[in-house]
């Protein structure tokens, strides 16, 4: 018996399946991950997180657009926008360093957040899911790092 249902399971699975970081997960695995995802909606111009904040998790954009601002020149140049499926603040999953940029919603934006401590416990409990999700996050991170190193501007990085 579910006391705290939130939309039908198939709708949620469909929504999450469209997010690149979860695309390799099976239906059952997505349901496990869904238990840990926190849905947040941000109004236009609302701050999602601020540069210098302690980061405790990642945000994945489901719909809407997000702009990143930073005092770090390289990020400012490389950045500009994040759209549906993009990850925000992924470095917080691996260390507790302060956020390198400020993320602001450019329009009404729906995100799902994955908290670092919950993600760690998920990896411990279900290595299969952990490997698949981490691999997708690593791909994004390596793409962003390469583009930063090569000073390419087509992919954002925070």
Partner 1 sequence: MKEFPQPGAITLLVNIAVTCLLLFLFQKIIWLVVPVLLALVVYYCLRPIVDALVVRGLAHNTAAKSVWLLLQLATAAMALAVVLLVAAKATTWQSSFDRYLAGGENLLRHTAESLEKVVSAFKKMGLASQLDQRAQQFTDQFAQKHLVPIALLLLKWLPSLLLVPYIVYFMLSDSTQMKKYVIKSVPNAFFERALLLFSRLDASLQNYFLGLLMLTLLDTVSLALGLAVLGIRSALWLGLAAAVLAWIPYLGSAAGCVLVVLIAATDFPDKAWMAYACLSLCLIVRLLDDFVYMPQTVGRKLHFHPLLSVLMFLLGATVAGATGLILALPLFGVISVIGEAVSQIVTDHKLIARYKAARQLAALRI
Binding site for partner 1 (CB under 8 A): 2-4, 6, 28, 32, 35-36, 38-40, 42-50, 53-57, 108, 113, 115, 117-118, 121, 124-126
Of the two residues 47 and 131, which places its CB atom closer to partner 1 in the complex? 47
* Shortest spacing between CB 91 and partner 1, in angstroms: 14
Give the number of C-alpha atoms closer than 13 A to the C-alpha of residue 6, restricted to the C-beta side: 11
Beta-carbon count within 10 A of 107 CB? 13
Of the two residues 14 and 46, which places its CB atom closer to partner 1 in the complex? 46
Q: What is the rounded CA–CA span in Å between residue 3 and residue 87?
A: 30
* Shortest spacing between CB 152 and partner 1, in angstroms: 30
Nearest to 21 by CA among 112, 104, 152, 148: 112
Q: Which two tokens stand for residue 6?
A: 């939130």
* Phi, psi (deg, nearest 5) at residue 26: -80, 170
- The string of DSSP letters for 31-64 reads HHHHTTEEEEEE-TT-EEE-TTSBP-EEEEEEES
* Shortest spacing between CB 56 and partner 1, in angstroms: 5
Of the two residues 57 and 156, which places its CB atom closer to partner 1 in the complex? 57
Of the two residues 70 and 111, which places its CB atom closer to partner 1 in the complex? 111
* Shortest spacing between CB 38 and partner 1, in angstroms: 6
């Amino acid at each position: 018996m579910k006391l705290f249902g939130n939309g039908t399971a198939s709708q949620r699975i469909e929504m999450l399946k469209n997010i690149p970081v979860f695309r390799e997960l099976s239906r059952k695995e997505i349901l496990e991950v869904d238990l840990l995802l926190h849905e947040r909606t941000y109004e236009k111009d609302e701050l999602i997180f601020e540069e210098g904040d302690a980061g405790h998790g990642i945000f994945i954009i489901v719909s809407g657009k997000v702009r990143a601002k930073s005092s770090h020149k390289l990020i400012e140049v490389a950045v500009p926008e994040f759209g549906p499926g993009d990850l925000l603040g992924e470095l917080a999953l691996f260390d507790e360093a302060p956020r390198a940029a400020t993320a602001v919603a450019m329009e009404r934006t729906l995100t799902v957040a994955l908290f670092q401590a919950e993600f760690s416990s998920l990896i411990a409990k279900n290595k299969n899911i952990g490997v698949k999700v981490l691999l997708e996050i690593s791909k994004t991170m390596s793409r962003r790092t390469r583009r930063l190193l090569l000073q390419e501007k087509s992919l954002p990085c925070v």
